[in-house]
Structure 1
Amino acid sequence: PSFVKLDVSDLPELLAAFSLGPVYGIVVTFLKNLLFSVLHGTSSAYVGELFNFVMGSVFSFSAGYIYSRNKSRKGALIGAVVGAALMAVLSVPFNYLLVYPAYVVCYGLPLDAIIGMYQAILPSSDSLIKCLTIFNMPFTFFKGMLDVVLCFLIYKPLSPLLHK
């Protein structure tokens, strides 16, 4: 579906959570979504932006919290992987109970049409929960892990700037 996008927009909040603490990860997540909304408006009646804020907050807060308890490379890795996993797992009930029903109401897009977008990839995807479990959950985890890899590549060189 066109509203499922691969990006690295959670990277700044992960950097903030590691360098300043978990609450700052949430603050950066909020600012990122606010700035995006002001500059680009919304194509999802703000449902996508709100969902992005919630998932980004889960990711950055959990990663930053675990890292704050064990300030080591291993603590950062464990925190980031746990954050990505939580984001992926929680995306299923949030999408199922809130986001996709909101898309149906806001866009008048029938749920069958949404499922049809997934069936173009895998014809046996015949229910929303199946689509979310087979596609969205692994996709969300992969997206989070991409941010983790990039964070690990750039955190150390940026560290002197982030801690000033």
Structure 2
Amino acid sequence: MKKNSAVRIATIGIMSALATGLMFLEFPIFPSVNFLKFDPSDILPLLAGFIFGPIDGILVLLIKDILFFLLKSGDIVGIAMNFAAGASFLLPAIYIYRIRKNRAFEIIGYVVGVVVVAGVMTVLNMIVVPLYWKIPLQETLKYLPIIAAFNAIKFSIDAVVTSLIRERIARIFEN
């Protein structure tokens, strides 16, 4: 597929809109920390990244977060954290897959992506939560295992779903 084709641009727009809609399907995995909500919206940026490349995946991620911010959230910190989480999962997964485009490297990419997102979001939450909620770091440290587990679970689910549909969706865009 040509890099600047109308189909690619339209697909990015459609995937962004669908991902925004999927952000509305949110529910907490751990009821004790209901600000951490699972939604399947990161599947579409991941698919866009696999099909068109990492820049397009990040573009879908950015557009869906901006649209969700404008339509519902109004919480710039939450949206920025959502973007950071999605990017820290998506980029390792896609770049590792691009080394050798086979199932083994796809799975390795998912595993590395899950580890990276869990680590990145744990560190970011250590910095952001005390400042944003104005609570002591000691209080924040209590939540870090739950935050790491949440991100590992959320992005593992996204990886499993993506792995089940990626090849079928990618075939649609082959010439």
Report the TM-score range of the alignment, normalised by the length of the smaller protein: 0.7 to 0.9
Query: Unaligned regions of 5+ residues in structure 1, if any?
Result: 106-110, 116-125
Residue 98 of structure 2: aligned partner: 68
Residue 104 of structure 1: aligned partner: 133
Query: Unaligned regions of 5+ residues in structure 2, if any?
Result: 1-32
Cα distance, 1:162 vs. partner? Answer: 3.9
Q: Does the CA contact (< 8 Å) of 1:55 and 1:87 recur in 2?
A: yes
Counterparts of 1:21 and 1:46, CA distance in 2: 27
Counterparts of 1:56 and 1:26, CA distance in 2: 8
TM-score scaled by structure 2? 0.75
Residue 4 of structure 1: aligned partner: 36
Answer 1 or 2: higher relative contact order, Cα 8 Å, separation at least 6.
1
TM-score scaled by structure 1? 0.79
The one of 30, 35, 41 equivalent to 2:67 is 35
Cα distance, 1:130 vs. partner? Answer: 3.2
Counterparts of 2:80 and 2:48, CA distance in 1: 20
Q: Does the CA contact (< 8 Å) of 1:88 and 1:141 recur in 2?
A: yes
Consecutive aligned runs of 4 or more in structure 1 exceeding 6 Å deviation: none
Q: Does the CA contact (< 8 Å) of 2:49 and 2:55 recur in 1?
A: yes
The one of 87, 90, 96 equivalent to 1:57 is 87
Residue 144 of structure 1: aligned partner: 155
Counterparts of 1:163 and 1:57, CA distance in 2: 25
Counterparts of 1:158 and 1:53, CA distance in 2: 23
Q: Does the CA contact (< 8 Å) of 2:130 and 2:140 recur in 1?
A: no
Residue 50 of structure 2: aligned partner: 18
Aligned length: 143
